[in-house]
Structure 1
Amino acid sequence: MSGFLRRLISPAAPTLQRDTVRLRLDDTEIDVLRVRDPRARRIKLSVDERGVRLTLPPRASLVMGERFLQLHRDWLSLQLRSYQAQNLPPPLVIGTPGLLPLRGQLLPLRWETGRYAHMQIDADGACLHWPARGTEATLRRTLREFYEARTRADVGRWLPRYLPGLPRAPARLRLKVMSSQWGSLAPDGSMALDLALVLGRPSAFEYVLVHELCHLIQANHSPAFWAEVEQRFPDWRAERDYFQLEGRRLKAMLRQLLTPAG
C-alpha cells in the first residue's frame, strides 16, 4: 500500500498549535499559554501548577480568545492567588539545608559530600550525598529517581494484599507526572500512577492504587465499581476528600521539585 493511500485510510492525528500571550492582571503581567485544539468545542480557561492555559476551538478567532480572557480576569486572579497561597516548602538550593516532602511529612534535608548523587532516609531525616560537580540537572534527576524508588516500594508492599481478589495482576506499572489525574488503567492492563502520590499521606496513595486495581474488574465508575472499592477500602471517601483539599498542593510541590528554576 502506498504512503498516500495509507494516509487516506489512517489520517494523521490533528496537531495542537501553541503560542504565548501576555496578560496584565492588577499590578503584574503573566504569560498565558494559548492552544488551538482541533478537538475543543468551546473556549476554555484553566489554571494549574504549570500556569494559565487558554484553549481555543478551531473556529474561534484570536479576538474572541482575547475577549474571553478579559471577561474572566477576576476569576483568573482568584485562581492564581489560590495557588500562591498553597504554602509550598521553599525550593531546594544545592548545598543548603531544606525540607523534603515524603509520605505526608516534610523531612529535614541535609547535604553531605559523596562520590555520586543519591538520597538516604535515616533517623535525622533525609541526607543527600552530593558530588563536587553536581548540577541542577543532577538534583532533578536524583529527586526523580528517589521518588520513583519510594513509589515502587509502596506499591510492592500493598499490591500482594489485593491481588487474590483480582482477575489478573496489572501488566506493568508506569510512573508519570500527571496534570489532573492520579492514576489510570489502560485496556492492556498497564497501570499509570502520578508520582506526586508519594508526597501525600500513604493511606491516600493506597486508595488510588485500590481504585485503579478495581478497574481490572469494572472498567467504569458504575455502582458495581464503587462496591468493589468499598469492599477493599471502606475509608475511600476520606481519601477522596483529602485529594480535594491537598491535591493541588501535592502536584505543585512535585512540579517545584522536578522542574528547573526559571
Structure 2
Amino acid sequence: MPSPFRLLAPRPRTIQRDAVELALADGRCVQVARVRDPRARRLKLSVDERGARLTLPVRASLAAGERFLAEHRDWLAAQLAHCASDAQQPLRRGETATLPLRGACLPLRWEAGRYARLQCDGGTLAFAAPAGASDAALQRALRDFYASQARIDLGRWLPRQLPSLPRPPRRVQFKVMSSQWGSLAPDGSVALDLSLVLARPSAFEYVLVHELCHLVRADHSRAFWREVEARFPAWRDERDYFHAEGRRLKATLRALLG
C-alpha cells in the first residue's frame, strides 16, 4: 500500500509549451515558442536557427510575457534577421559550392557517378551522384562522409588516451544531438555529436577527452576537471569556442542533412 504522505505530495511540475504570434514593426507576424519552465527564474527571450523562444517562470502571467515580447520586439526582429543571414542553405546538387569540415570551408565539385558518394581529395571535395539522385540520397551520402571523417579523427586521438583509462569505452558512436556534444552511457558507450567534425579539430578532441574522463570520474567534481586539465590543458579555450560557435555548428549540420 502506498504511503499516505506520498499521495499528499504535490506532483512535480512539468515544462509546458505552446506558441504565440507577435507583430513586428514592419508588419510581419512571427511565431514565438512559449515555454513555461519550472526551473526558470525570470522571463527570457532567445533566438536561434529554429526561431524565437520565450521562457516563463511558473508564476509569471501570460500578460507579463506578452508585455515582455512587446518591449523586446525590435531586438527580436534584429536577431531573426541576423540568424537568417547566417543560415546554412540545404545541400543542393550543382548549387552547393562549398562544405564545412574541420573548421574550414572546402570547395566542392559535382561529378556524374553510378551512386551518391562524397570524397575528399586533398583540400577539395568531390561529390559524385547519378543524375536522378534524390535529395535524401545526397544527404545520406553526406552524412556517411561526415561519419567516416569523424572516425578518422577518432582513430588519431583515442589510442593516446586508452593506456591511462581504467577501462576502454565499450563503443563510440556518432549521431546528431540537439543540445549535447557528447555523453557516456552507464555501460561505457560514448556518443558524440556528428557536428563535431565541422568544428576545429582541437574542439572535437576536447569533447572526446571530456567524455573519456567520465570513465575515471562519473561526475563534474573538481577531481573530474583536474583529470581533464591533465589530459587537455587548453580545455577552457575550447569551451569558449563552443559558446561562440556551437549553435552555428549544430544548425549547419541540421540544414545540410535536411
TM-score range (shorter-chain normalised) is: 0.7 to 0.9
Q: Is the 1:49–1:255 contact (alpha carbons within 8 Å) kept by the matching residues of 2? A: no
Q: CA RMSD in A?
A: 2.9
CA distance in 2, matches of 1:20, 1:135: 34
**AA paired with 1:198?**
V
Q: Could you tell me how far 1:85 is from its partner in structure 2?
A: 5.3
Q: Could you tell me how far 1:131 is from its partner in structure 2?
A: 1.4
Q: Is the 2:36–2:57 contact (alpha carbons within 8 Å) kept by the matching residues of 1? A: yes
Question: In structure 2, what is the equivalent of residue 122 of structure 1?
Answer: 121
Q: SS at 2:218's partner residue?
A: coil
Q: Is the 1:104–1:202 contact (alpha carbons within 8 Å) kept by the matching residues of 2? A: yes
Q: Residues 82 and 216 from structure 1, CA distance in 2 versus in 1: closer, same or farther, beyond 3 angstroms?
A: farther
CA distance in 2, matches of 1:223, 1:141: 41
Question: In structure 2, what is the equivalent of residue 211 of structure 1?
Answer: 210
Q: Residues 76 and 216 from structure 1, CA distance in 2 versus in 1: closer, same or farther, beyond 3 angstroms?
A: farther
Q: Residues 42 and 209 from structure 1, CA distance in 2 versus in 1: closer, same or farther, beyond 3 angstroms?
A: same
CA distance in 1, matches of 2:134, 2:142: 12
TM-score by length of 2: 0.81
Deviating more after overlay: 206-215 vs 247-256: 247-256
CA distance in 1, matches of 2:59, 2:51: 24
Question: In structure 2, what is the equivalent of residue 5 of structure 1?
Answer: none
Q: Could you tell me how far 1:20 is from its partner in structure 2?
A: 4.1
Q: Could you tell me how far 1:42 is from its partner in structure 2?
A: 6.5
Q: Could you tell me how far 1:204 is from its partner in structure 2?
A: 1.0
CA distance in 1, matches of 2:41, 2:183: 24
CA distance in 1, matches of 2:219, 2:123: 44
Q: Is the 1:48–1:179 contact (alpha carbons within 8 Å) kept by the matching residues of 2? A: no
Question: In structure 2, what is the equivalent of residue 192 of structure 1?
Answer: 191
Deviating more after overlay: 75-84 vs 151-160: 75-84
Q: Is the 1:20–1:31 contact (alpha carbons within 8 Å) kept by the matching residues of 2? A: yes
Question: In structure 2, what is the equivalent of residue 70 of structure 1?
Answer: 70
Q: Could you tell me how far 1:81 is from its partner in structure 2?
A: 4.3
CA distance in 2, matches of 1:132, 1:84: 30
Residue segments in structure 1 that go unaligned for 5+ positions in a row? 1-7
CA distance in 2, matches of 1:174, 1:60: 41
**AA paired with 2:132?**
R
CA distance in 1, matches of 2:123, 2:231: 35
TM-score by length of 1: 0.80
**AA paired with 2:236?**
R
Q: Could you tell me how far 1:22 is from its partner in structure 2?
A: 2.8
CA distance in 2, matches of 1:128, 1:44: 43
Counterparts of residues 1-262 of structure 1 (less than 5 Å):
18-27=17-26, 28-35=28-35, 44-55=44-55, 62-84=62-84, 86=86, 91-96=90-95, 98-123=97-122, 125-259=124-258
Q: Could you tell me how far 1:228 is from its partner in structure 2?
A: 0.7
**AA paired with 1:114?**
G
Q: Could you tell me how far 1:163 is from its partner in structure 2?
A: 1.0
CA distance in 2, matches of 1:174, 1:46: 31
CA distance in 1, matches of 2:183, 2:73: 33
Q: Could you tell me how far 1:21 is from its partner in structure 2?
A: 3.5
Residue segments in structure 2 that go unaligned for 5+ positions in a row? 1-6
Percent sequence identity over aligned pairs: 65
